[in-house]
Structure 1
Amino acid sequence: MATEKLKTYSLSEMKDKYVGKVGTKKRDDFEYELRMDLLGKMIKTARIERHLTQEELGKLIGVQKAQISKLESSANSATIDTVIKVFKALKAEINFNVKLEDDYVSIAL
């Protein structure tokens, strides 16, 4: 019985093929949406770990429950100020890494 060797592909190769190459608008949009989705999931996970309802978290930062729901389902409409307020209310540390050419700037809030 002959065994066939299957070709394997990396996630990056699959994204290049089906989403677009790095640097294209389609790929950039995809990566942005993915990051915003992950940010929303982090907010929800932290809120649940703190035993807070969406309404309670909203009251802590001065927004309605609906805004927290939108953040958790997709944070792409959130301002950075709102995201910082949410994580501070959740007593979570926030780290931003920014690459400026060959240098990294790291900010912890």
Structure 2
Amino acid sequence: MKQAREAKHLTQEQLGKIIDKKRTYISRVENDGSNLTLKTLFEIVEKGLGGKVRISIKM
């Protein structure tokens, strides 16, 4: 996520404001893979970074 954020020329602070999270939360996600929910993953990737999340389950 850090690479995608940097490619969009966003700081952690700016991304946090877009998705209504603190900069420290964005830092934790980038640095230690903080336990985030699917909802937050969607917010970061789709709303914050303009990407698309695809989840596939095979059984």
Segments of 4+ in structure 1 off by > 4 A?
none
Post-superposition shift, 1:96? Answer: 0.9
Output aligned runs, 1:1-109, within 5 Å.
Answer: 43-88=1-46, 89-99=48-58, 101=59
- Structure 2 residue runs of 5 or longer lacking an equivalent are none
**Bigger Rg over Cα:** 1
Post-superposition shift, 1:76? Answer: 4.0
Amino acid at match of 2:21: V
Post-superposition shift, 1:77? Answer: 1.1
Post-superposition shift, 1:94? Answer: 1.3
Aligned-partner Cα distance in 2 for 1:45–1:73: 12
Deviations 1:17-74 (A, max 9, x none): xxxxxxxxxxxxxxxxxxxxxxxxxx10110000000000000000100000000012
TM-score of the aligned structures, taking structure 1 as reference length: 0.51
RMSD, aligned α-carbons: 1.0
More strand by share: 1
The number of aligned residues is 58
Aligned-partner Cα distance in 2 for 1:75–1:83: 11
Amino acid at match of 1:82: T
TM-score of the aligned structures, taking structure 2 as reference length: 0.90
Aligned-partner Cα distance in 2 for 1:93–1:71: 18
Name which structure has the greater RCO, CA cutoff 8 Å, separation 6+.
Answer: 2
Amino acid at match of 1:78: L
